[in-house]
Amino acid sequence: MLKYLFAKEDDIPQGSAGLFFAVSAICWFIIGTGLGSFNAAKLAFPDWYHGIYALQFGHMRQVHVHAVIFGWIAMAFAASMMYITPTLGNTKLWSEKLGVWNCLLYNIGLCLALALLWSGLTSGREYSDHIWPVDLYIAFVMVIPWGVNVWMTILNRRTQGIYTTNWFFAACVFMTAIVFLVGNLPEFFHLTGLNEAYMTWWFAHNILGLLITPVAAAITYYIVPKITGNPLYSHRVGHLHFWSIVVFYSTPAAHHLMSSPLPEWLKSFASVEGVLILVPAVAYVCNILLTMQGKWSMFVSNIEIKFTITGVLLAIPLNMQGGFQQTRAINWYIHGTGWIVAHAHLALLGFSTFAEAAGVYYGIQVLLRRKLYSASLANFHFWMLLIGFSLYWTSMTIAGLIQGAAKIYEVPYVDVVIAEHPYMIVRWLGGTMVFFGNIIWLYNMVMTARAGSIVPVGRQPVEVAYTR
Amino acid sequence: MAFREYKIGSMMFGVCLSVSMFVTIFLPGLDISGVSSTQLALEKQLTYGWESGFNYYDPFLQGKDKPIKVTLTKDPRTGAKIDETDAYVFKPGTHFPDGLTHNWILGDKVEKASASTGRIHEATEEKGGVFLVQVADDDTPYIEYATATRGWTVDAVLKAADQQFLAGSGKTMFIREGCWWCHTLLPEETQDWQTFGRPPMTGDFNGESPTTFGSDRKAPDLLHVGSRNSSREWLTMHFFNPRLVQPHSIMPRYDYLWGDKDKEGNPIDLKAWDKKFMAYAKGESIYPPEVPIPASGSEARMLIDFVLNLK
């Protein structure tokens, strides 16, 4: 990587940026899920690691969240954008050099940001925990250069139209930069009180709704038609998905604070807009599943499709939960409980991660022109992820319902802690399975680079046999 | 090539996003900013000071640049007996909360009363001073700058104080140590009244930053915990090792906030303490080891003060 930093643009092999982002993403996924598993262990057995104060739960929890969001998810997005955007524009990436620099500064920035969080330097605002100098670094050094590469690649495309995936890529990086700069205004300008509290959740909602879910969807818009060979079921339904994301998904931020003293009109408005999230959700899921017509055997036989479609199927419960759990009728019961934690993991570890994993699996094969090393290891990874996630989601949902019931009947809190203990253990087991699955994934990818069969020019990886 | 065909799309996108931000940021911002401070908001601002998260004056979140809350039973100037009064002491150089420095934070009536009756505009950060929260005859809460109105100086008030609460520094600890990842500060409007007490009102937060509502309640809500449990001894044991007072607790130990020495200056040996505790936890000894009393400037004392002050 370092040798390309000062190389001439033409001397940098195409796809370098994408490849570096992809490998970084996998490494951060291992780190992030490792931290998650560690945190979960602390919730199950609080005295287990006593005495190592750097490993305090209160310092580690946000490091897990940001390692996963900015390390794994965002870098997997960057990796996918670096190879999908040019392919769809029938061109090359606008600047590999910018991409390589971006990847390096991204990794350095993330290490620094997480180290600061770890040592307790925090803004005290959930999801925008980073201190404001780090926020500025993220916006101007990590996100905007990435966006410039994507936007310029699309502007310099050699196709007439722009495919669905690229609308999302271009718009979502733009919105991420905006959300970062606007959502952190309370820190830049010391806004206080309920405005600060509300903006915290405006940021948190929009970073999820305008970056994490739509870009994951955009990746599946590419992977499914590309690998199955079927054209996208409907361009128009894609339009509906895109525009309803922009209009509906950017507005319900206040539904995260349904039980707080925000203005009632705002909560009602957010709640209605929150149900309307089902419009893009249903449009999207239908569009992708209908694209699979006649090719459903690939759901079993092809690893990328297996990951992608599992992600899309997980988007169904995700959006059904998301649309309805924020209405007053349901929110009062589950607000602030493990149910929400389960839902957040359904979005990030369920839907989004499965889509990104497909993007990274496919991307590394295409960029290296090498077939995946081992189908068995990939399947092992898939099942570790799916079973681990399912254990996590089920246990946390049940724990959340227990908490909800206890909340309504105002049971002494320690009884809730006792009742949740077995679910905390299952949660830890599930998270640990995901962690170990990811280590296997990294091994599989390293072996792909070293020993995967060469994919001939003009051929798809799917058409080549596995090495082992 | 031919970006023209996407011009309309880009413009529509800009319009959609702008309208969305207008409705979800500008309008709520106007509405929220129009709400007047309650008495609680005035007390919180004067207790917590300017900013409790990362800031230029306390970059490592050590609880610096914070006011001290004191209780008085005699007039610091004359020595005459008075009703128990909470006063908020800003040593010279301590930064004021936004309510004292920005006109639109307190709300019109509160601002007027604080300016005319309370004379808050005479206060400066360089001089510091002592503040009180008062309620006017028409129930308008306001801030009184007691250094101007009563001649209470910082030194005299600290000397006359019966009790000092480092609750402002404690909030910094609450944020740095991530207490709010599990303990919410937001009893919910639909239930919680009986166990966790009154949910906050819209005007309770003016000038506070950050509000640390918390979102994932893995532990009891703490907004009114000081009213439920005001025992400093219990809290001291609880922070040192929660399993001393609640065997089923999953809260981490915060014994490292005690620092190197206890209140008497004896060194604290956490390893030796842990050994004795584990023997107790396994049933090998009858009594748990003694919990050291935190030194008066220790981070543990700040955090305990913060929690006791959550009435």
Convert the pLDDT of each residue in B42-96 to its tens digit: 999 999 999 999 999 999 999 999 999 999 999 999 999 999 999 999 999 999 9
B16, B190, B210: residue with CB nearest A247: B16
Q: How far apart are alpha carbons A324 and B216 in whole angstroms?
A: 19
Mutation site for B-interface testing, chosen from A153, A259, A421 by largest number of B Cβ within 10 Å: A259
Mean pLDDT of all residues in A188-196: 94
pLDDT in tens, A336-394: 999 999 999 999 999 999 999 999 999 999 999 999 999 999 999 999 999 999 999 99
Question: Could you give the C-alpha distances from A161 to A150, A215, A235, in angstroms and in order?
Answer: 16, 19, 12
Q: What mean pLDDT comes out for the span A114-123?
A: 94
User: Which homologous superfamily does the CATH classification assign to the domain defined by B172-308?
Assistant: Cytochrome c-like domain (1.10.760.10)
Q: Do B20 and A46 touch (CB under 8 A)?
A: no
The answer to whether A424 faces chain B, any CB pair under 8 Å, is yes
Picking from A36, A47, A246, the residue whose alpha carbon sits closest to that of residue B241 is A47
What are the residues whose beta carbons fall under 8 Å from the beta carbon of A344, sequence distance 6 or more? none
What is the share, in percent, of chain A residues with pLDDT greater than 70?
100
Cα dihedral A433, A438, A439, A444 sign? positive
Which residues contact residue A248 at a Cβ distance below 8 angstroms, ignoring those fewer than 6 apart? A273, A276, A277, A279, A280
Confidence at residue B5, expressed as pLDDT on a 0 to 100 scale: 66
ipTM score here? 0.94
Give the DSSP letter string of A336-400: TSHHHHHHHHIIIIIIIHHHHHHHHHHHHHHHHTB--S-HHHHHHHHHHHHHHHHHHHHHHHHHH
Which residue is it, tokens 């190389």? A7
3-class secondary structure, A1: coil
Whether the pLDDT of residue B148 is over 80: the answer is: yes
* Closest residue, chain A, to B61 (C-alpha): A121
With beta carbons less than 8 A apart as the criterion, state whether A193 and A255 touch.
no
**pLDDT for A53 beyond 80:** no
Per the listing, tokens 């610091």 go with B76
Q: Do A186 and B209 touch (CB under 8 A)?
A: yes
Residues of B in contact with A329 (CB under 8 A): none
Do residue A336 and residue B217 have CB atoms under 8 angstroms apart? yes
Evaluate if residue B270 carries a pLDDT over 80. yes
Closest Cα of chain A to B62: distance in Å? 10
Chain A residue whose CA is closest to B10: A171
pLDDT digits (tens, 9 = 90+) for A320-333: 999 999 999 999 99
Q: Which residues of chain A neighbour B105 with C-beta distances below 8 Å?
A: 192-193
Of the candidates B63, B278, B236, B304, which has an alpha carbon nearest to the alpha carbon of residue B270? Answer: B278
CB burial readout A141-162, b (16+ within 10 A) else e: bbbbbbbebbbebbeebeeeeb
Q: What's the alpha-carbon Rg for chain B, to the nearest Å? A: 23
- The Cα–Cα gap between B161 and A135 comes to 42
Nearest to B209 among A196, A337, A424 (CB): A196
Is A1's pLDDT higher than 80? no
Please tell me which of the candidates A250, A340, A424 has its beta carbon nearest to residue B20. Answer: A250
DSSP state of A12: S
Searching chain A, which residue's CA lies closest to the CA of residue B191? A408
Q: 3-class DSSP state for residue B36?
A: coil
% of chain A with per-residue pLDDT over 90: 91
Burial B236-249 (b: 16+ CB within 10 A, else e): bbbbbbbbbbeeeb
Mean of the per-residue pLDDT values of chain B: 94
Alpha-carbon gap, residue B156 to B142, rounded angstroms: 23
A383 touches chain B (CB under 8 A): no
A91 in B contact zone (CB under 8 Å): no
Q: Do B61 and A121 make contact, defined as CB atoms within 8 angstroms?
A: yes
What's residue B1's pLDDT? 45
Judged by a CB distance cut-off of 8 A, whether residue A425 touches chain B is no
For the cut 80, the answer to whether the pLDDT of residue A124 exceeds it is yes
Residues of B in contact with A253 (CB under 8 A): 24
Residue length of chain B = 311
Q: Is the pLDDT confidence value at B126 over 60? A: yes
Angle at A104 between CA A100 and CA A106, to 5 degrees: 110
Angle subtended at Cα B222 by Cα B221 and Cα B227, rounded to the nearest 5 degrees: 120
According to the model, what pLDDT value does residue A467 have? 72
Read off the pTM.
Answer: 0.95
| Confidence tier at A468 by pLDDT (50, 70, 90) | low
pLDDT at B162 over 90: yes
- In this structure, are residues B183 and B220 in contact, taking their beta carbons and an 8 Å threshold? yes
What one-character-per-residue DSSP string does A241-283 give? HHHHIIIIITS-GGGGGTTS-S-HHHHHHHHHHHHHTHHHHHH
Q: What is the mean pLDDT of residues A29-51?
A: 91
Mean pLDDT of chain A: 95
Which residues does chain B have within 8 Å of residue A155's beta carbon, measured at their own beta carbons?
3
B43, B45, B60, B211: which to substitute to probe chain A, counting the most A Cβ within 10 Å? B211
E strand or H helix that includes residue B164? strand B163-165
pLDDT digits (tens, 9 = 90+) for A70-90: 999 999 999 999 999 999 999
Q: How far apart are CA A175 and CA B168, in angstroms?
A: 37
| Inter-chain contacts counted by CB atoms under 8 A, chains A and B | 218
The 10s digit of each residue's pLDDT in B96-107 is 999 999 988 999
Per-residue pLDDT of A210-231, as tens digits, reads 999 999 999 999 999 999 999 9
Average pLDDT rounded to a whole number, residues A201-206: 96
pLDDT of residue A268: 95
Sorting pLDDT into bands at 50, 70 and 90, what band is A161? confident
A337 touches chain B (CB under 8 A): yes
B4 pLDDT tier (thresholds 50, 70, 90): low
- Quick one: pLDDT band at residue B194, thresholds 50, 70, 90? confident
List helix spans (H) across B94-133: 98-101, 108-116
Which of A194, A279, A345 to mutate against chain B (most B CBs within 10 Å)? A194
Residue of A nearest to B221 (CA): A413
Q: Is A188 on the interface with B (CB under 8 A)?
A: no
Query: Which residues, listed in sequence order, are joined to residue B144 by a DSSP beta bridge?
Result: B132
Contact A254, A198 (CB under 8 A): yes
The domain locations on chain B are: 39-165, 172-308
CA–CA gap between residue B290 and residue B280 (Å, rounded): 12
Q: Of the candidates A271, A201, A274, which has an alpha carbon nearest to the alpha carbon of residue B214?
A: A201
Say whether A46 and B21 touch across the interface (CB within 8 A). no
